[in-house]
Amino acid sequence: MIVDQAPYSLRQALKTGLTVGIPVIFLLGLFVVPVVNILSRGLQVGGELDLSPVIDVIKSESLRKIIAFTFVQATISTLLTVIVGIPGAYVLYRYRFTGRGLVRALVTVPFVLPTMVVASAFLALGVKTSFGAILVAHIFFNYAVVVRTVGGLWAHLDHRTELAAQVLGASKIKTFVHITLPALRPAILAAGAICFLFTFTSFGIILILGGPSRATLETEIYRQTAQLLDFKTAAGLSVVQLIAVTGVLLITSRLITRQNIALGLVPADRTPRVRTRQQRLLLLSNLSFMALLLGLPMATLVIRSFSTPTGFGLAYYRALGTLRADSVLFVPPVEAIKNSIVIAVISAVIAVTVGGLAAHAIIRYGQALNTALTIPLGVSAVTVGFGFLITFDTAPFNFRSSWLLLPFAHALIAIPFVVRAITPILSSIDPRLREVAETLGANPLQVWREVDLPISARAYLVGAGFAIAISLGEFGATAFLARPDRPTLPVVIARLLSQPGELNFGAALAASSVLMVLVAGAIFAIERARVGSVGTF
């Protein structure tokens, strides 16, 4: 028995080291250390910790107003998104109709579009900077979170419970309030927490559509760091943001766990086809709303990219190859597209590798690692970007001038989505299959290859698709890490938007349209690979 137990213990230690050690080392080396380095610049005096910048932030009336506005706009944006998203979740996950898969994919496209493209789409519509513009843009951006998170659980609810309540005399409204809504509560709360996180840390939308008078923690950290070089104030604001985001993430982790428990292994209830007049009217009204909210900005963006002063044509697209060609910053857009694709593929490989290992650890050891891996989503991209530049600027990790920093930064952002795509599938695998394989002498790699991979291969493809889509549209960290001679497409768009003139704006719309097509392609690939509604968000 002792001889048999030793190899088994060694295998278990190896498995634990791989599944827990690699994600933890990745998180420590590429997030914790860079963030600590940049924060220490503003929170250290004479080598000792100084929390006075945090206290100064709390005491400052103007900064308190910025903190309050951050919470207010995030709260209102979240409530509105949840309210308008629930009807969409109902029609897309409780009814079958021709083209449903296509509509689901199109609904998801805005979520992974870069904020620069979203802002460009609303500017193309003629929207002026205002608080209302921020709210509408956030709904546009996060609508898919509510639809897919709530709809993913709604598809698994037993429809017979609602029918029984109606047979007993309950109206459809009472049935929804007393039967359906309580069952959906875990998904609604989880979706709301995720929306709050993204709107709380929103950057590009606030910066472009909010105007100079509407600052949030994220935009103020950018201003204090990149424009004023006031690292102390920026560090104080970052600490406040980090505390708030960590609290939201802890709540989100608990809510997502409850959602997974509620979903469990129950197969999706067979959704009926749209048949009655009332159902057709409900479907038509929701599709019309989606077309207005999501389709109109994207369609306007594409149409405006072809609308030149001399009429419909390709002038703005041709300008991408010649505009500012005499500038030292000029890079042909074809090169920027190639850079974006190469970086996206590399970041997807990294994210799927680390995220896949993390998914195994989360199933075995709980949600703590999942929460830790999600924290980078809520930390200022400015803080992370500058942290990268400082951390990787000295030997033996002198990678500051290397373009390879970008795939790792993008993977850091994509890993939570990869984990979310893979974990539900892995958790549905009967653990006895792994135990039998281990009993027959299989090592952890063989168990994964022979048992887990055949079942979860499509989930890995979904995770890779999300990683590619996120990398293609990532701008926050890229703005600080991209080399001037190797920009990505979002960086090219930002450069064009920062220049005055109709030709520059038109070229930015053309570049945004190209990026939108690339992202949409990744999303359609995800829908082809997805297993049912598993791994939505």
DSSP secondary structure, 316-331, as one string: HHHHHHHTTTTSTT--
pLDDT classification of 2: cutoffs 50, 70, 90: very low
The pLDDT, as a whole number, for residue 329 is: 58
Task: Kindly state the tokens that stand for 375.
Answer: 């924290």
pLDDT of residue 255: 59
CA distance linking residue 149 with residue 85, whole number of Å: 10
The region of weakest confidence among 389-393, 443-447, 484-488 is 443-447
DSSP, residue by residue, 210-221: I-TT---HHHHH
**431-441 tens-digit pLDDT:** 777 667 777 77
Please state, in angstroms and rounded to a whole number, the distance separating the CA atoms of residues 283 and 286: 5
Whole-prediction pTM? 0.76
Question: How far apart are alpha carbons 39 and 105 in whole angstroms?
Answer: 39
Among residues 473, 471, 474, which one has the least CA distance to residue 347? 471
pLDDT band (50, 70, 90) for residue 400: low
> Per-residue confidence at 264, pLDDT binned at 50, 70, 90?
very low
Q: Which of 351, 279, 282, 267 is nearest to 533 (CA)?
A: 267
Q: Which residue has the higher pLDDT, 352 or 168?
A: 352
Residue 308: DSSP 8-state: E
Has residue 4 got a pLDDT over 60? no
Tens digit of pLDDT for each residue in 412-435? 888 888 887 787 777 766 677 766
Lowest mean pLDDT among 318-322, 526-530, 533-537: 533-537
Provide the token pair at 448: 């994964």
The predicted pLDDT at position 69 comes to 93
pLDDT band for 11, please (50, 70, 90 cuts).
Answer: low
* Contacts for 310 with CB less than 8 Å, ≥ 6 apart: none
Inter-residue contact 402 to 345 (CB < 8 Å): no
Confidence at residue 324, expressed as pLDDT on a 0 to 100 scale: 62
- Which domains does the chain possess? 2-529 (1.10.3720.10)
Say yes or no to pLDDT of 1 above 60: no
Does the pLDDT value for residue 360 go beyond 90?
Answer: no
Tens-place pLDDT, residues 163-186: 777 777 777 778 777 777 787 887
Per the omega criterion (within 30 degrees of 0), is the bond before 416 cis? no
> To the nearest whole percent, how much of the chain has pLDDT over 90?
8
Averaged pLDDT score across all residues of the chain: 78
DSSP lists the bridge partners of residue 308 as: 311
Q: How far apart are alpha carbons 194 and 90 in whole angstroms?
A: 19
pLDDT in the model for residue 524: 77
Helix 61-94 / helix 52-59 crossing angle, nearest 10 deg: 80
* Alpha-carbon span 389 to 34, nearest angstrom: 8
Work out the pLDDT band at 351, boundaries 50, 70, 90. very high
Tokens standing for residue 258: 């409850």
Whole-number Å distance between alpha carbons of 24 and 349: 17
Average pLDDT rounded to a whole number, residues 394-423: 79
- Output the pLDDT for position 442: 67
**Phi, psi angles (nearest 5°) of residue 212:** -65, -20
CA quadruple 133, 137, 139, 140: dihedral, nearest 10: 140
Residue 3 has pLDDT above 50, yes or no: no
Q: How far apart are CA 269 and CA 290, in angstroms?
A: 24
CB 200 within 8 A of CB 81: no
Helix 405-427 crosses helix 231-263 at what angle (to 10 degrees)?
Answer: 20
Task: Answer yes or no: is pLDDT of 21 > 70.
Answer: yes
**Per-residue model confidence as pLDDT tens digits over 108-133:** 888 877 777 777 778 778 888 888 88
As given in the structure block, the two tokens for residue 84 are 């308008």
Report whether pLDDT(535) > 50: no
Which helix or strand (DSSP H or E) is residue 424 part of? helix 405-427
- Lowest model confidence (mean pLDDT) among 88-102, 265-279, 303-317, 475-489: 265-279
Predicted confidence band at 18 (pLDDT cuts at 50, 70, 90)?
Answer: confident
Q: To 10 degrees, what angle do helices 489-497 and 333-365 make?
A: 120
Residues facing 96 on adjacent strands: 273
Distance of CA 15 to CAs 6, 11, 442, Å?
A: 14, 6, 12
User: By C-alpha distance, which of 244, 194, 252, 195 is closest to 218?
Assistant: 244
Q: In terms of residues, how long is the chain?
A: 537
pLDDT at residue 81 greater than cutoff 90: yes
How far apart are alpha carbons 42 and 51 in whole angstroms? 9
* Local structure of 222: helix, strand or coil: helix
Quickly state the pLDDT bin for 328 (edges 50, 70, 90).
low
Rounded Cα–Cα distance for residues 186 and 181 (Å): 10
Residue 306 vs residues 312, 426, 501, 504, 507: alpha-carbon distances, Å: 5, 46, 16, 13, 10
The rounded distance, in Å, linking the Cα atoms of 445 and 437 is: 11
Residue entry with tokens 């639809």: 147
What gap in Å lies between CA 197 and CA 77, rounded to an integer? 11
| pLDDT tens-digit readout, 447-467 | 767 677 677 777 788 788 888
Tens of pLDDT, residues 213-250? 788 888 888 788 777 777 778 778 878 887 887 777 77
Q: Are strands 44-45 and 48-49 parallel, antiparallel or unpaired?
A: antiparallel
